[in-house]
Each structure stands twice: as C-alpha cells, then as structure tokens.
Amino acid sequence: MARSLGYEVTVAEADKNMSKIAEVVNSSDVLMGLHGAGLANILFHPENAIFIQILPVGGFEWTAANYFREPSRDMNLKYLEYKISKESILESEPQLNKKKKGDGKRV
C-alpha cells in the first residue's frame, strides 16, 4: 500500500547485521512494524521521524504504551498507532467466523 502512495519501501530482513539495520532505520522517515522486540530499532530512528506501531488483537495496550509510545515521544518521534480489530480479521479471514460443528456457536 505504501508503494502505491508513492513511498519508497525498504523491508529490513532479520538476517541483516545490526549496523546495516541501524543504517536503514536511521535513513528512514517512517518506521512501521508489528508490536514486538524488533521495534526496539526506534533507537536508531532520527528525531522528528514517524513511528507507526501496529497492535495485534489481544490486549497489548499497556506494553505498547510503556515500551514504545512513551519512549518514542521522549526521543522526539511522531508516534502513531494502528490497532487491528477483531472485525478486520474476520473481514479478511471469513473462515474464522464459521460455525463449529456441534455447538452452533461462532468461533
């Protein structure tokens, strides 16, 4: 999607060495990723850059806020958060909402 909006997209592979990851992150205007330890690379993000954290379903709000949102603000990053909703998962994966045999309840 970002490419279709005119952004140059770089995907940092996990097998790259740390200095290469630091270089890629430091040269980016936007860092976006799914909540997790890999987002600790915001340490290399330049001031005033944009950091977008994607939160999966499952109650990650406290860790997201304390481990990423608050520190990113202290580092003068512009923080945005996208929460994946149960509804969006069921929309993209409709088979998850089918009735289970036997109980008539939705999964």
Q: What are the tens digits of pLDDT across the range 66-106? A: 999 999 999 999 999 998 877 666 566 666 566 555 555 55
The span from the CA of 104 to the CA of 107, in Å, is 9
- Helix or strand holding residue 72 (H, E): helix 70-74
Amino acid occupying residue 34: L
pTM check: above 0.75: no
Cβ burial, residue 47 (10 Å; 0-12/13-18/19+):
exposed
Residues 96-107 as b or e (16 or more Cβ within 10 Å = b): eeeeeeeeeeee
The more confident residue out of 83 and 15 is 83
The pLDDT-based confidence of 107 (bands split at 50, 70, 90) is very low
In terms of pLDDT, which residue wins out, 97 or 107?
97
CA distance linking residue 44 with residue 25, whole number of Å: 6
What is the band of 43 on the pLDDT scale with cuts at 50, 70, 90?
A: very high
Residue 99: its pLDDT value, please? 52
The average pLDDT across 14-42 equals 88
Written as six digits, the tokens of 49 are 């850059």
